[in-house]
Amino acid sequence: MAKLIGVKKINTAVLISGTGSNLRSLLVFFTNKNSNISIKLILSNNPKAEGLKYAKIFKIKKKIISYKNQKLAEKKILSCLKRNKINLVCLAGFMRLLSRKFINSFNGKIINIHPSLLPKYKGLNTHERVIKKKERYSGCTVHYVNHKVDSGKIIMQKKVRINKKDTAETLSKKILKQEHLLYPKALLKIYPNL
């Protein structure tokens, strides 16, 4: 497909703390010369995050930010984002909370993926709680990040049926598969508003 002239380019940074399977799915989806959304940078607070390996595989920059001091860490992240001309931040299993100041300075251009049908089951250990409550459905949500945990405006959701035999582990696997499909779709959806 021919590249359109004058269309806006969205440079994305993905923040991770662990496996990075959502990061991988974004990289696979958007690693294409004609894409107007590109993943330029991987940031991790965890030097041992498995997902950091994708920097080498996909030939993009990575940076590890120590979180011993949150204020300093956020300052470093912000300057790194500016230096790399990032205009969208995707959280993908990033296990640190972002301050109100940081979120405001990015002006609504931070999104996150959460493994439940928000506003239900915000926070950690989602699948365990869902199974305990004997829910029939769960799923995943991509949402904008605001100053309250998992509470920003919802962009897209995908419902997943829970079987009687499902455990937290099997449910987590089923939902993660759907997360990998949902996150790129959500980026395409918000692209006109970025």
* Residues ≥6 apart with Cβ < 8 Å to 163: none
**Residue 179 lies near ligand GRF (rule: CB under 6 A):** yes
In the bound complex, what is the minimum distance in angstroms from residue 20's beta carbon to ligand GRF? 5
Of 15, 46, 93, 142, the one binding ligand GRF by CB under 6 A? 93
Buried b (16+ CB within 10 A) or exposed e, 31-56: eeeeeebbbbbbbbbbeebebbebbe
Distance CA 18, CA 4 (A): 36
Distance CA 144, CA 152 (A): 5
Task: Return the bridge partners of 63, or none.
Answer: 43
Q: Is 19 in the site for ligand GRF (CB under 6 A)?
A: yes
As a whole number of angstroms, the distance between CA 55 and CA 37 comes to 17
Tell me: does residue 113 bind ligand GRF (CB under 6 A): yes
Asked if 139 touches ligand GRF (CB under 6 A), the answer is no
Q: Does 184 bind ligand GRF (CB under 6 A)?
A: no
Give the nearest distance from C-beta 90 to ligand GRF in angstroms.
10
Catalytic status, residue 114: yes
Nearer to ligand GRF, 93 or 184 (CB): 93
Contacts for 25 with CB less than 8 Å, ≥ 6 apart: 179, 180, 181, 183, 184
Of the pair 92, 103, the CB lying nearest ligand GRF is at: 92
Check binding of 21 to ligand GRF (CB under 6 A).
yes
CA atoms lying within 13 Å on the CB side of residue 37: 23
Using CB under 6 A as the binding rule, whether residue 12 contacts ligand GRF is answered as no
Among 109, 114, 143, 174, binds ligand GRF (CB under 6 A): 114
> Annotated active-site positions, please?
114
Residues making contact with ligand GRF (CB under 6 A): 16, 18-22, 51, 92-93, 113-115, 176, 179
